[in-house]
Structure 1
């Protein structure tokens, strides 16, 4: 499944009401560490079928960033049953992201 780009219009339906675990990558185009994590997120989007992989561009969707108190990017948040199950801030390796999803 491809990576889904979230907006304030689809965030609730795609993340909070999802029947799957959801990984949300909060990122920006100008963020160097985000650019390092981006290809890993895309790869996971292709590989993982039981987890929904999503991205939020913090510059285009400030309301979502404010709601989840995003102060540094990249921030990865795992949602399960509409609740935050896990979170990490900063660039991560693929193995660290997979561990976050357990």
Structure 2
């Protein structure tokens, strides 16, 4: 599946309508972003059940600001509307594959229980 350009107009719909979304925050002038792009594209081809979205931080400053993106590239992984990973830096292919495996293996019922417990405790 090809990558999807995420904008302020389609972001909510795509992220809430998909089980797993990997988001690459990038900009055309960023050398590490340009090197990571093909790695991200190849992973998208290998995992057609995952949405691979790209946010051009220059064209979508509102989205970059909403997620407090201060360094690019930043990779974010969202599963069932919960952010499970958000780190700056370009991952090599093997590390990206390992991250995808980890995201797939997360027990989302446990994540929701922990979030509810944290919310109930007020922290």
TM-score (norm 1): 0.93
Superposed CA deviations along residues 3-42 of structure 1, whole A, max 9, x for unmatched, are 0001000000011x12321000000000000011000111
Alignment partners' CA distance in 2, 1:98 and 1:87: 15
Alignment partners' CA distance in 1, 2:35 and 2:44: 15
Q: Secondary structure at the match of 1:25?
A: strand
Q: Secondary structure at the match of 2:71?
A: coil
Residue 45 of structure 1: how far off its partner (Å) = 1.4
Aligned-residue Cα RMSD (Å) equals: 1.0
Aligned position for 2:60: 61
Q: Report runs of 4+ in structure 1 exceeding 6 Å deviation.
A: none
Higher RCO structure (Cα 8 Å, ≥6 apart): 1
Alignment partners' CA distance in 2, 1:12 and 1:82: 10
Alignment partners' CA distance in 2, 1:2 and 1:79: 18
Q: How many pairs align? A: 101
Residue 98 of structure 1: how far off its partner (Å) = 1.7
Superposed CA deviations along residues 37-79 of structure 1, whole A, max 9, x for unmatched, are 0001111111102211110000000000001010000000000
Aligned position for 1:35: 34
Aligned position for 2:23: 24
1:87–1:100 contact (8 Å) kept in structure 2: no
User: Structure 1: any 5+ residue segments left out of the alignment?
Assistant: none
TM-score (norm 2): 0.78
Structure number with greater Rg is 2
Q: Equivalent residues in 2 for 1:1-102 (5 A)? A: 1-15=1-15, 17-101=16-100, 102=102
